[in-house]
Chains A and B, each alone.
Chain A
C-alpha cells in the first residue's frame, strides 16, 4: 500500500501535511506520535472514513480511493467506538457471524470473549470492550487490518496474548497498520514505523533505518522519536 502526499485541513488548521509512506505486505506498521499528531485522521483517511483534501492511496499499484473499494481490503477499528451498549456480547458476536458468515473460534478463544458472553456490553471492563472491538476488526479475511490505539485498557498479560495473536495473523499474511501513542507498546509489536508530529512525517522505516538516521545501535524508539522531534 502506498500513501502519497495526503493533506487534510480543517479550516485553517493543517491536520496532515503531505504525508507519504509505504506499507509492505508482511509489515506491522506503527504510526507513532503524540496526541494531536494526526494519527487518527490519517487512519480515517486510509480506511475511507474521511476524505483527504489532497493526495492518493494505492493498493497493489492501483488507486484505492472509494470507500466501497477500500472496505473490501481494509478492516478498521477506530479508537472512538462504543459498541452497542444494550446488546449482550453473545448477541453482537452472533450478529457479526451471521452477517459476515465468517466464524473464527480461535479468535474468540484468544480474546477470551466466552467468559463475558452473557454480559451486556455496557457492563464490560475497558479491556474486554477493547477485545470486542478487536474481535470485530479481526472477524474477517480482509488483507489489511487498521487498528487505532488497540492496546488501551489491556493489562500486561492480556497484552502479551493479543500481541502474539497479531503476530500470528501477520505471519499468515495479513498486514497491520497500528496507531499507538504508547511507544513501549509499539516497540513490542511493530517492525516498521512512521513517526508523525503535527501532521508531518518526521521519519519512517524499520527500526534499523531509524537508528541509522536518528541514533545509534543502542537507541530506543523513544530516544529516536525525541531526537526526530528536536
Chain B
C-alpha cells in the first residue's frame, strides 16, 4: 500500500507538472471564462423581458442557459487537447522504456495503470474545479443554482473526460510514437462526431442506429438533466473496456494477447447489447422539462403493450419534433414501448401517419401533438387520466446582471492563468533552490 501511494504520487506529479498540462489548464481557464461571460451576458439580456412576465420567466433555467454553454467549451477541449496531456503518461514510459524500471519494482501492471488512472482522474477533477468560481460568481450575482442538475452536468463531463483518458491510454499502448497515438486518439474521438453528423444528415440507416450510442449522444442525457442509468453504465463500460485493452497491450509478458483482446471486445459488445435494453432514467430538472405532467405519466404507466408504427423518414422535421417532444419523454415513463419505423412501399403509401396499438386495438392519426395523441392512447387502453398538477410550479429564474461581468474576465483571463503559471514557475524555482543548497 505504501509503495502504491509513492507510485501514485509520482504519477500525480508527472500529470500535473508537465508543460502540456499547464498549457491545457490555461486554455481551460480562458475557455470557461469566455463561455461563462458570454452565457451570463446573453441570459441577462434576455431576462430583461422576462422579469415582469411570469409565463416568459418559466423558460429561464440556469443550467441550459448559463452552465451548459460554460461547460460546453470543455467538450471541445477534452476532445481535442486532453489526449496530448494524457497520452504522454503512457507513451513516454514506453518510449523511454521506463516501464522496465516500474515493473521491476514491487508494482504489478495493474498497480501502474491504476496509479495513472487515479492521477488522470484527479487532474480532471482539478479541471472541473476551475469552474467553481463561475458557480460562486453566479450565486453572488443573485442567480439560482439547481444543484442536482448542475451536479449531473459536471458528472457528465467528468465521465466524458474519463472516456477521453481511456481512449488516450489505449492509443498510447497501441502505438510506439506519441504523435501516432495522439492522431489515433483524436480520430477515435472525432469519429463519434462524424457518425452524429451522418445521422443528422440522414445519410444511412446504419449510421442512425449507431449514433444512438456515440459518446456525444450519451453525453446529451447529462446535458439535458436526465439521470440515466444506461448513460452512466455506458461510460463505465466503454472506459473499462479501453482500460482493460490498455492493460492487455502493455503487458509484455502476456501470451495470446489477441485472444484476450477479442474476448474483451466481445464481452463488452455483449454488455452493451444488454445495456441497450435497460432504460432507467430520471428527470432531475426542477422544471421537469423532460417529462410529461405527473397525471399523464401515472396514466401512461398503466397502458399495457403500447406499440407505435411511424410512417415517416427519420430526417423529417415533423418526426424530429415528435421525437423531441413526445418519444423522449415517453421513454422516461415507459421503457417497453415498441416503436417501429416503417419502410419501403408501406411507408410511401401512408406517409405521415402514426398508428397507435394497445392490446390488439389500433387507431391512426396524422397529428404529432400531445393533445391529439394522449386521448387516442388512453382511449385504446380504456384508462381515464386522473387529476393532478398538469402544469409544474416552476417559476423560472431570469436574472439581470448589470455592470459586474468584468469580474469574470479578471478571474478567468488573468487571475487563474497567471496563478497557474506562477505556481509552475515557483515549483521549478523551489526545486532548483533545494538542489543548490
Contact A88–B435 (Cβ < 8 Å) = yes
If A71-B103, A99-B3, A100-B105 touch, does A84 touch B98 (CB 8 Å cutoff)? yes
Contact with B along A9-50 (1 / 0, CB 8 A): 000000000000000000000000000000000000000111
Contact B253–A67 (Cβ < 8 Å) = yes
Contact A51–B253 (Cβ < 8 Å) = yes
What is the size, in residues, of chain B's interface with A at 8 Å between Cβ atoms?
22
In Å, the complex CA distance between A118 and B434 comes to: 9
Residue B401 interfacial (CB < 8 Å): no
Residue B6 interfacial (CB < 8 Å): yes
Residue B104 interfacial (CB < 8 Å): yes
Binds B, one of A73-81, A150-158, A169-177, A200-208: A73-81
If A66-B253, A71-B103 touch, does A83 touch B435 (CB 8 Å cutoff)? no
In Å, the complex CA distance between A68 and B105 comes to: 11
- Give, as a whole number of angstroms, the nearest-CB distance from A123 to chain B: 12
Contact B100–A85 (Cβ < 8 Å) = no
A: interface residue count bin: 20 to 34
Residue B255 interfacial (CB < 8 Å): yes
Q: Which residues of B contact A117 (CB under 8 A)?
A: 435
- Give, as a whole number of angstroms, the nearest-CB distance from A131 to chain B: 15
If A95-B10, A117-B435 touch, does A67 touch B97 (CB 8 Å cutoff)? no
Contact B98–A81 (Cβ < 8 Å) = yes
Residue A82 interfacial (CB < 8 Å): yes
Contact A78–B100 (Cβ < 8 Å) = yes
Contact B252–A50 (Cβ < 8 Å) = yes
Q: Which residues of A contact B107 (CB under 8 A)?
A: 99
In Å, the complex CA distance between A182 and B214 comes to: 57
Residue A98 interfacial (CB < 8 Å): yes
Contact A81–B101 (Cβ < 8 Å) = yes
In Å, the complex CA distance between A164 and B97 comes to: 28
Contact with A along B268-289 (1 / 0, CB 8 A): 0000000000000000000000
Contact B104–A75 (Cβ < 8 Å) = yes
Q: Which of B3, B96, B255, B435 contacts A82, CB < 8 Å?
A: B96
- Give, as a whole number of angstroms, the nearest-CB distance from B71 to chain A: 32
Residue B106 interfacial (CB < 8 Å): yes
In Å, the complex CA distance between A118 and B436 comes to: 7
Of listed B7, B10, B104, B252, residue having the most chain A CB within 10 A = B104
Closest to B104 in A: A71
Q: Which residues of B contact A78 (CB under 8 A)?
A: 97, 100
**Which residues of chain A from 100 to 140 have a CB within 8 Å of any chain B CB?**
100, 117-118, 136
Q: Which residues of B contact A98 (CB under 8 A)?
A: 6
- Give, as a whole number of angstroms, the nearest-CB distance from A128 to chain B: 15
If A85-B96, A117-B435 touch, does A67 touch B103 (CB 8 Å cutoff)? yes
- Give, as a whole number of angstroms, the nearest-CB distance from A211 to chain B: 36
Contact B6–A83 (Cβ < 8 Å) = no
Contact B106–A76 (Cβ < 8 Å) = no
Q: Which of A51, A68, A75, A82 contacts B97, CB < 8 Å?
A: A82
Q: Which residues of A contact B103 (CB under 8 A)?
A: 67, 71
Contact B435–A118 (Cβ < 8 Å) = yes
Q: Which residues of B contact A68 (CB under 8 A)?
A: 108, 253
- Give, as a whole number of angstroms, the nearest-CB distance from A85 to chain B: 7
In Å, the complex CA distance between A71 and B106 comes to: 9
Q: Which residues of B contact A80 (CB under 8 A)?
A: 97
Q: Which residues of B contact A96 (CB under 8 A)?
A: 105
Q: Which of A66, A76, A90 contacts B100, CB < 8 Å?
A: A76
If A67-B253, A98-B6 touch, does A84 touch B96 (CB 8 Å cutoff)? yes
In Å, the complex CA distance between A159 and B100 comes to: 24
Which A residues form the contact surface with B (CB < 8 A)? 48-51, 66-68, 71, 75-76, 78, 80-85, 88, 90, 95-96, 98-100, 117-118, 136
Sample of 28 A–B contacts (CB below 8 Å): A48-B253, A49-B100, A49-B252, A49-B253, A66-B253, A67-B252, A67-B253, A68-B108, A68-B253, A71-B103, A78-B97, A78-B100, A81-B96, A81-B100, A81-B101, A82-B97, A83-B98, A83-B101, A84-B98, A85-B96, A88-B431, A90-B435, A95-B6, A99-B7, A99-B107, A100-B106, A117-B435, A136-B101
Which B residues form the contact surface with A (CB < 8 A)? 3, 6-7, 10, 95-98, 100-101, 103-108, 252-253, 255, 431, 435-436
Give 8 new A-B contacts, CB below 8 A, not counting A75-B104, A81-B96: A49-B100, A88-B435, A95-B6, A95-B10, A99-B6, A99-B106, A99-B107, A100-B106
Q: Which 5 A-B pairs have the closest CB atoms?
A: A67-B253, A118-B435, A82-B96, A81-B97, A99-B105
